Amino acid sequence: MFELFQSENNQKFYFNLKAKNGQIILSSQGYADKAGAKNGIESVKKNCSDDSKFERKTASNGKFHFNIKAANGQIIGSSQMYAGESGMENGIESVKTNAPGADVEDKTA
């Protein structure tokens, strides 16, 4: 499920993609308006089936994470940090599996 929400100061809109167990798989960048965040969700749904849209990265502390990018190369969302590369790959597979048909829960007022 995608969860759409605003920052505490209501300045930006964000979304998270959550697995069935409630764990956050992917978090968005901040958007100036709700429409932008909704477009970001649609972009994740559209791009997640293309493995080349996933940018796999290793942090300076040796942990692994990934970004998903739109067709224009902009980062749409970022993962949490994973201790191992296999965890990161499982996270990518989870996005590919969960995002396309995920509902959107709008938590903005």
Q: What is the pLDDT of residues 7-20, one digit of tens each?
A: 888 889 999 999 88
pLDDT at 67 (0 to 100): 98
In the chain, the number of structural domains is: 1
The CA-atom distances, in angstroms, between 24 and each of 36, 73, 79 are: 20, 23, 8
pTM: 0.92
User: Average pLDDT for residues 24-45, to the nearest whole number?
Assistant: 96
Chain mean pLDDT for the chain: 95
Residue 109 has pLDDT above 80, yes or no: no
Domain span including residue 57: 2-106
Taken in order 22, 109, 12, 46, the sign of the CA dihedral is positive
Task: Kindly state the tokens that stand for 104.
Answer: 């959107």
Give the whole-angstrom CA distance, residue 78 versus residue 61.
Answer: 17
Residue 68 has pLDDT above 80, yes or no: yes
Q: What is the CATH number of the domain that holds 38?
A: 2.30.29.80
